[in-house]
Structure 1
Amino acid sequence: MAEKSYTMDDLSLVKTEETVPLKRRSSQGDQPSRDNEVKSPVLKFLLGRADAGNIFDSNGTAPPVQSNNECRHRICMTEVAPSHSSIFGTENREEWKLSISEFSSKKHGKSSKDLPKRIRTFYKNQDELITTFEDFHFGVDDAMKHTEEMEEKRKKANILAKITLAANVCLLIAKLVAAILSGSISVISSLVDSCVDLSSGFVIAITERAMRKRDLYEYPQGRTKLEPIAIVILSVIMSLASIQLIVESSEKIAGLATGGENRPDVGITTIVLLSCTIVTKIVLFLVCRRVRTPSVDAMTRDHRNDVLSNILAIAFGYIGSKSMYEQYQVSELVYLDPIGAILISLYILFGWWSTGYGQIKLLTGHTAKPDFLKKLTWICMNHHPKLLYVDTVRAFHFGVNFLVEVDIVLPEDMTLKEAHDIGEPLQQKLESLPEVERAFVHLDYEFEHRPSDEHKQV
């Protein structure tokens, strides 16, 4: 509101007969209806001496100013009502929204360095969640940005699948030569691993190609589930191959105990070939770990497994070879070759079992983590001022991504058109998230019913 300012020297010039009151602004920020209703403060607003203990009379009013010196010690007090009821900024008049300032003030940042590790982890996760709320509030995340990012990841995944496929073909030939030259069961186990790697590369490449071909009539929702299905199939194949290697290694140990098996011959050629394989797999591992998609994650784990298996193949194969026996004359070292093969097979078996189990959970509708449900709830609560309640927020895996179900409560007398214009944008907003494959928004006018009243329990 407009108000004439006064200095302490000018207070004595204020006219005592000016008694037009100031109009208090309403809580909604209404302006005075007439310009002459807002004038300079009257003298009765000069409330007492600043250092006086009791300046009011029995009627609760301040005594009149007697002199200019006395006026210098009095303070001009005017009360103007705030334009909104919140202490936070409401420049856009969005008082109904959750205040981002309250959440941002809870951030700890680097101030929790002296706390125990588990508490620091808690605050770190909380800060990341608040940052996500801030991104939603200020509109940092949008559908177009995420669509482009996902498409870019798909292209990179396709390129890496082809590179991995070509590399595995070359490494398979190198390991085949090494296995023939050495006769080591550890090297053979690494060779079998490469054979399965080659098969996995073919499967993932075919899967990526099939996912890009969309048929709205045969697969109206797309074929995104092909990715986890392919990984489950690979897990089964790798697990069976590992079990077979364990059986072969056990038979090798039994043959060595009876003297019916020859010692492996791991020479310099075998070591060089396996060393080249290790270097190649390390490079592929470092490149693939930068792209976060399920298929590339599977390739990343595969490259890591290859690095470890080839290191073990070199170490155990050489220790159990003829060269080591001729040098140290320790006959028991020959058992390290099949033992190394068993260790390699067990590592591959448990790694792929864990991978397959995780993908099965995604295919069977495992629930989303609480932090993701919090993000969905935040979006719903800040969607529209006429949204009365958020009844239910549910998200579960629909393959790699999530299927989201949201129940919101709107006024009972709202028209169908207005309710539709609230629900559909919320659905589109939820589906703009990169983790969400499909979202359903159910509109209701009350929230006292049970979920079983609306949906079949399965």
Structure 2
Amino acid sequence: MRKYRYMRWIRDYKPQPEQQRLYRQALAITLAGNILLASTKALVAYLTGSVAIYSDAANSISDVVYSLMMVFGLWFAQRPPDLSHPQGHSRFEPLVGLFVTASMAYAGFEAARASIERFLAGGLAVRPDLPTFVLLFSAAVKVWMFFLIRNLAKRLASPTLATTAVDHLSDVLTSVAAFVGVLLSSLLHPLADPIAGMAVALWIFRAVLRAARENLGFLTGAGADEELRHKLVEVAESVPGVLRVHHLMSEYTGPQLVVDLHVNVNGQMTLNEAHQIADEVIERLEALPEVDRAYVHVEPEDHD
């Protein structure tokens, strides 16, 4: 292969051991918690025959599947750039997110199917003793997981972990719905159990739509929203020597943005001075948690 002096084939990469440690912590919490809840709910659903518990167990089993896929996806997404992926592997994170969305959709379908069958059969009164304890335990565990993962998502600026935290919070609501169904099936009417199961399914489908929309945006090159665009311009124009920003392009290449902007500076300054300004703009933009990397073009003040 020909040698091109001074040409870079692969983007610069700096390992971040603290970031990797936090990701491992988040994955361990998510995987361990979901396995515990899925196995507990599946056993109770088998022993009691509650379709609401069954629906909630299906949701927890899908959570285990996406937890395993997250382990692989986030591990691969953090691999350093190489010749096959010179800009890095960050797009694998939202790609795995779509597979996670598919597993959630299947759980919603399974929950809805079981609930409809039980509703057409006239329902079943479920004793509220063991199911009640399991659902309250599940809600408590998910609240704990929600706060832990949300904190890690903020520290890492990870949309995948932020979505996972929201999923944990949704699971709290589905467990509450299942709890109400179990309780009312015994106190009010047997059909309350499958009705609660359908409520669980609807919560799952709602989470599916939100996750699909977000991950498709990351994969298809969606840009920053208006608020973030204004923030990027403000950061660039805060650099001494920058007169204004007259061009801005942003694109998600994974969960973070690539930013390309043109800034106007005094056309009489030296090339070294203009280069220093560009470096300062890049440094400040890349310090933002939403930005992966930035490219800055310097142009004279009268150029549009």
Spell out the pairing of 1:329-368 with structure 2 (5 A cutoff). Answer: 333-368=189-224
Distance 1:427 1:337, change over 3 A: same
Match of 2:135 in 1: 274
Match of 2:179 in 1: 314
Compute the TM-score of the two structures, normalised by the length of structure 2.
Answer: 0.82
**Counterpart Cα distance in 2 of 1:422 and 1:406:** 13
Match of 1:102 in 2: none
- The answer to whether the Cα contact below 8 Å between 1:320 and 1:335 also exists between their aligned partners in 2 is yes
- The answer to whether the Cα contact below 8 Å between 1:181 and 1:270 also exists between their aligned partners in 2 is no
Q: Secondary structure at the match of 2:295?
A: strand
Which one of the candidate residues 269, 289, 292 is aligned to 2:150?
289
Larger mean Cα displacement after TM superposition, 203-212 or 186-195: 203-212
- The answer to whether the Cα contact below 8 Å between 2:56 and 2:111 also exists between their aligned partners in 1 is no
Which one of the candidate residues 229, 234, 251 is aligned to 1:373?
229
Compute the TM-score of the two structures, normalised by the length of structure 1.
Answer: 0.56
Task: Give me the identity figure in percent.
Answer: 24
Spell out the pairing of 1:2-401 with structure 2 (5 A cutoff). Answer: 152-256=18-122, 263-291=124-152, 292=154, 293-321=158-186, 324=187, 333-385=189-241, 389-401=244-256
Q: Looking at both structures, which has the greater relative contact order when contacts are Cα pairs under 8 Å and sequence separation is at least 6?
A: 2
Gaps of 5+ in 1: 1-146, 325-329, 450-458
State the shift of 1:237 in Å. Answer: 2.0
Aligned residue pairs total: 287
**Counterpart Cα distance in 2 of 1:253 and 1:422:** 68
**Structure having the larger proportion of residues in helix:** 2
**Counterpart Cα distance in 2 of 1:171 and 1:382:** 49
**Counterpart Cα distance in 2 of 1:389 and 1:180:** 66
Residues 56-83 of structure 1 show CA distances to partners (whole Å, capped at 9, x for unaligned) of xxxxxxxxxxxxxxxxxxxxxxxxxxxx
- The answer to whether the Cα contact below 8 Å between 1:227 and 1:294 also exists between their aligned partners in 2 is no
Q: Secondary structure at the match of 2:90?
A: coil
Residues 142-201 of structure 1 show CA distances to partners (whole Å, capped at 9, x for unaligned) of xxxxx99x8645422321211221222222221122111111111110110111011111
Provide the aligned C-alpha RMSD in A. 2.8
- The answer to whether the Cα contact below 8 Å between 1:183 and 1:264 also exists between their aligned partners in 2 is no
- The answer to whether the Cα contact below 8 Å between 2:249 and 2:260 also exists between their aligned partners in 1 is yes
State the shift of 1:211 in Å. Answer: 2.6
**Counterpart Cα distance in 2 of 1:380 and 1:302:** 35
Q: Secondary structure at the match of 1:289?
A: helix
Rg larger in structure: 1
Residues 65-108 of structure 1 show CA distances to partners (whole Å, capped at 9, x for unaligned) of xxxxxxxxxxxxxxxxxxxxxxxxxxxxxxxxxxxxxxxxxxxx
**Counterpart Cα distance in 2 of 1:305 and 1:383:** 42
**Counterpart Cα distance in 1 of 2:204 and 2:66:** 14
State the shift of 1:319 in Å. Answer: 2.2
**Counterpart Cα distance in 2 of 1:381 and 1:298:** 32
